[in-house]
A and B are shown apart, each in its own frame.
Chain A
Amino acid sequence: MGMFDAMRISATGMSAERTRMDVASENLANANSTNGPNGPYRRKEVALRTAGGGFGAQLASAARASVPGSSSIATQTGTTAGGVQVAGVVEDKTPNRKVYDPGNPDADNQGYVSMPNVNPVVETTDLISSSRAYEANVTAMQTTKTMISRVMDLLK
């Protein structure tokens, strides 16, 4: 149904933004991890993509295909709106930074340490931007909730 779709869509947005916050926090926490199973820590990034209509939209298009004259339901919900989904967490390919620190146990023969390709400033701005986007989704959900309850008041 139309309005509840809007709430589900906002929920997908909140979930995606939370994943971005998780990954940015992980990058920030590992900004100085020079030793791991695969050498120094590598920065991760979240790839987002539009989610093609969920179960409701598929059901609507199936109903449109099978029942003649049912187009009125299908066209109204026949939107591609399915929110957003995390396509994957990908590794940032930029090379590691080399820092001269011969005392470090992870230093190579020349005394250079490979530092993670994490820039704390970039991670912090990413955190702020995902937090703002999260808030926008929360506001959208609140507005949807108010709109639904207003329509429900028509029954009184």
Chain B
Amino acid sequence: MDLFDTTQSALNRAIAGTSLRQTAIANNLANADTPGYQREDVDFHSALQSAIGQGTAAVNAVEPKVAADPTAPLRYDGSNIDTDKENAAMAENGIEQEALVNVAKARLDILKTALGVR
């Protein structure tokens, strides 16, 4: 049996996904006043969800990617950025990351206790 199971790997990939998503949202906010800018986002949930049933190797192979979000332009300058939506997405992403890190930490602590490290 592996020391780090599928769930731990999935937590690691999800934390990496939230980091990349934070970068994409920061880029959207930086370009809030760039004419014609198309927003970017990261969807790692669906890939991770389908990989989680196929074992640790499949989960480790999940690579979160930044993709353009081609929703219709919202503004006269052709940009589809809504600052409020970006802020909401950023808050959601931050909370999700906090939850993931807390769970990963709890699981690591259990392992440490079992190993007699603490």
Contacts and interface: CB of A to CB of B under 8 A. Distances in A.
Contacts of B15: 151
Nearest to B12: A154
Contacts of A79: 20, 23-24, 27, 40, 65-66
Contacts, number: 119
A21 B18 CA distance: 32
B19 A9 contact: no
A143 interface: yes
A6 B32 contact: no
Interface string A1-43: 0110111011011001100100000000000000000000000
A65 to B, nearest CB: 18
A133 B82 CA distance: 11
B94 interface: yes
B66 A16 contact: no
Contacts of B33: 16-17, 20, 48, 84, 129-130, 133
Contact of A151 (B26, B27, B101): B101
A20 B30 CA distance: 13
8 closest pairs, A vs B, by CB? A13-B30, A79-B66, A81-B27, A6-B23, A6-B26, A140-B26, A84-B30, A83-B30
Interface of B: 15-16, 18-20, 22-27, 29-35, 37, 40, 63-66, 83, 86-87, 90-91, 94, 97-98, 101, 104-105, 108
A76 interface: yes
A53 to B, nearest CB: 10
Interface of A: prevailing SS:
helix
B20 A150 contact: no
A143 B24 CA distance: 13
Given A146-B94, A147-B97, A154-B105, A136 B86 contact: yes
A136 B29 contact: yes
A110 interface: no
A83 to B, nearest CB: 5
